[in-house]
Amino acid sequence: MNAVIQVVKHLTPGMVGTAAINIQQFSALRQTRFIICLEGTMSETLESWPYLKNVIDKLIFLDAESETTASVVRSLVKLFRTYHAGVVHTHQSTALYQAGIAARLAGVKTLIHSEHDNWLEEEPKHPRLLKMVLNCIHPALVTNGGRMNNRLQTYLNRRDITTIPHGVDTQRFQPGNQSMARLRLGLPTGAKIIGTAGRLIPEKRQHLLIHALSHLPENVHLTLAGEGSLAQALHMLTIKLSLSHRVHFMGHVENMPEFYQALDLFCITSEEEDYPASPLEAQACGIPAALTDMGACSDVLCPLNGIPLNTDDERTLIYQIHTALLKKQGISPRRYILQHHDVRIMAEAYDALCYQVNPPYIDNPLYAANSARQPKCRYTLPNKP
């Protein structure tokens, strides 16, 4: 049986790592599947992401950060041949440059490459290198959203790009009892609560939300999920602004669905954000989202109640957040996530790409019991080169 092998640079709880794990777990094609991590060790990865213990037998760590490109390619060729890889799926350009070449040298039939980041404008040399590699190894090229798709078409002069939106597990992330969630998290039950999730680092700019909170009504609170180098500085800022009783630092939160369920509004004010997964999770829980209008944020916002934030002007930011808190919610953003960003739709679309050359092997009862329910491609696939 031919294996399906995904390759990532490093495995972290961010969007790329989550996408790889979700594709691994939610595919209807129960072929042998592995994820190869080019950098990092198993112990380091498990320490930062304990959830991976559930799939530890499917993870392979090369710890090749100090190795030469040629050495890494040789190791990958050997692995692909050992596991009889029929499909190799790379995430991000770094993985493509090494694993893509190795896949072709190993005679792998199907090569899929997913490009997740909006780095094209900041790194002018990368488009030329990426274009050269794509022309040499001819993978099926995939992006997460329309904005990234358009940029790749412009910079690489390609039209054979498949768009597969990132998906979240809507059976795990779903609406819940707000009062109970707040009680379990130690948050005030009678307040309006704004939430944000992510590392406490300069790029995330959580200080903008703290400053905005000082101009919002007293019954509005802010809660932050995550850890990072700016934790102490942000704590000091809340003390300076006399907001300690209204800002709640949650640290690492294991039960993220419960965190989202406790909110009235989810916000991100980052200065750099490519394709954030947390707003999808919050909206799957029925919580409206307000995000910095940059990167691919417009691709993850519900068009009916999502709010693109203007973080360049503090007054406008305060007004937008206050208006969002006062607005009565109509149609839940969950409906949009179910239709466009469910993890099962994402996995189904990647299965369809595997169909092009590799015949499917299905032992999932949900699909195998009824051939009419076998995954069908609902995306336009690129022509084979």
- Residues 243, 350: one domain? no
- Residues 13, 155: one domain? yes
- Residues 358, 228: one domain? no
Is residue 381, in this structure, part of any structural domain at all?
no
- Residues 211, 313: one domain? yes
Note the pLDDT of residue 125: 61
For residue 114, the one-letter residue type is S
| Residue 146 near residue 275 (C-beta atoms within 8 A) | no
Q: How far apart are CA 337 and CA 166, in angstroms?
A: 10
Is residue 384, in this structure, part of any structural domain at all?
no
> Which of the residues in the chain have pLDDT under 70?
1, 30, 117-125, 146, 273-274, 295-296, 355-385
Q: In the chain, which ranges are E strands?
A: 3-8, 33-37, 59-61, 85-91, 110-115, 140-143, 161-163, 192-197, 220-225, 247-251, 265-268, 289-292, 307-309
CATH number of 186's domain: 3.40.50.2000
- Residues 190, 331: one domain? yes
Is residue 383, in this structure, part of any structural domain at all?
no
Is residue 172, in this structure, part of any structural domain at all?
no
- Residues 102, 241: one domain? no
For residue 12 the two structure tokens come to: 């972290």
Is residue 361, in this structure, part of any structural domain at all?
yes
Q: How many domains does the chain have?
A: 2
- Residues 198, 315: one domain? yes
**C-beta contacts of 17-24 below 8 A and 24+ residues apart:** 17/49, 18/277, 19/91, 19/114, 19/116, 19/166, 19/346, 20/91, 21/51, 21/52, 21/55, 22/167, 22/168, 22/169, 22/343, 22/346, 22/347, 23/89, 23/346, 23/347, 23/350, 24/55, 24/58
- Residues 188, 119: one domain? no
For residue 323 the two structure tokens come to: 């208006």
**Other Cβ atoms within 10 Å of 349 Cβ, number:** 22
- Residues 163, 184: one domain? no
Is residue 379, in this structure, part of any structural domain at all?
no
Enter the pTM of the model.
0.83
- Residues 67, 123: one domain? yes
- Residues 334, 347: one domain? no
Is residue 79, in this structure, part of any structural domain at all?
yes
Residue with tokens 């360049």: 312
| Contact partners, residue 188, CB within 8 Å, separation at least 6 | 182, 221
- Residues 103, 213: one domain? no
Q: How far apart are CA 319 and CA 322, in angstroms?
A: 5
Instruction: Select from 372, 303, 371, 313 the least CA-distant residue to 339.
Output: 303
Note the pLDDT of residue 356: 63
Is residue 382, in this structure, part of any structural domain at all?
no
Q: List the domain range (segments joined by +) for residue 110.
A: 3-167+343-373
Work out the widest C-alpha separation in the chain, in whole angstroms: 64
- Tell me how far CA of residue 201 lies from CA of 197, 268, 381, in angstroms: 11, 13, 39
